[in-house]
Amino acid sequence: MARIAEIEARLGVVHAAGPQPASPRIGGFAQALDAAQRPSAASSSGTGRGSAAFDAIIRDAAQATGVSADLLHAVVRAESDYDPACRSHAGAMGLMQLMPGTARSLGVGDPWDPAQNVLGGARYLREQLDRFGDVGLALAAYNAGPGAVGRYGGVPPYAETQHYVKRVQQYLQERVSAR
């Protein structure tokens, strides 16, 4: 117990009721821990906690890009679990977790705006679908980048990407089966 107290003292841990601001010395660790303790996209039931709130936005992006609304819902669920304020440790932002450079290249002025974010993500997914001609490969490219899919001639041998593709396909199947 003394060792724990020593570590807590070095990290600036404060014991109080309610959430506390993260110490600058531990950076995003507290945020990551908090996110890990919340129900994740993988563990949430149904179609995601906030899916209905974004139905119109997703439907509009689907119509504009020709990407299935069900597929967009599945990607949003896997990427952010419908949290428009979601930010990854790598800097990806919003519902579809757009990286800053990708957002700029897609003409997304405000990646935190759900409509812009989903439309940008749908455009990017459309590019990958057109390039690879296969939903699984397009999802792998969305996650790991088209260069990685091209280099490996398929889904890259990255555990994260392989899991991502399966998870999105599972969410897609759940949406289709729920009708």
Share of the chain above pLDDT 70, in %: 73
100 assigned to some structural domain: yes
32 assigned to some structural domain: no
Q: What is the dihedral of CA 59, 61, 62, 65, to 10 degrees?
A: 160
- The CATH number given to whatever domain includes residue 158 is 1.10.530.10
6 assigned to some structural domain: no
Most confident of 7-16, 18-27, 36-45, 107-116: 107-116
Residue 168: is its pLDDT beyond 90? yes
The answer to whether 86 and 108 are in contact (CB under 8 A) is no
Q: What is the pLDDT of residues 124-167, one digit of tens each?
A: 999 999 999 999 999 999 999 999 999 999 999 999 999 999 99
Quote the domain boundaries for residue 122. 51-177
Q: Give residue 179's pLDDT.
A: 82
Q: What is the pLDDT of residues 63-97, one digit of tens each?
A: 999 999 999 999 999 999 999 999 999 999 999 99
Residue 127 appears among annotated catalytic residues: no
36 assigned to some structural domain: no
Exactly one of 6, 79, 127, 174 is catalytic; which is it?
Answer: 79
- Domain count of the chain? 1
24 assigned to some structural domain: no
Q: Give residue 11's pLDDT.
A: 47
- Give the burial class of 174: count Cβ atoms within 10 A of its Cβ; 0-12 exposed, 13-18 middle, 19 or more buried: middle
Q: For residue 156, how many C-alpha atoms fall within 13 Å in the half-sphere facing its CB?
A: 19
Taking the alpha carbons at both ends of the chain, their separation in whole angstroms is 53
Residue 3: is its pLDDT beyond 60? no
38 assigned to some structural domain: no
101 assigned to some structural domain: yes
pTM here? 0.74
* Residue 117 pLDDT level (bands cut at 50, 70, 90): very high
- DSSP labels, 6-55: HHHHHHT----SS--PPPGGGTTHHHHHHHHHSPPTTT--TT-TTGGGGH
107 assigned to some structural domain: yes
35: how many CB neighbours lie within 10 A of its CB?
Answer: 16
Instruction: Indicate the average pLDDT of the chain.
Output: 82
Please state the rounded mean pLDDT for residues 41-54.
Answer: 58
Q: Give residue 51's pLDDT.
A: 86
Find how far residue 6's CA is from the centre of its chain.
Answer: 36
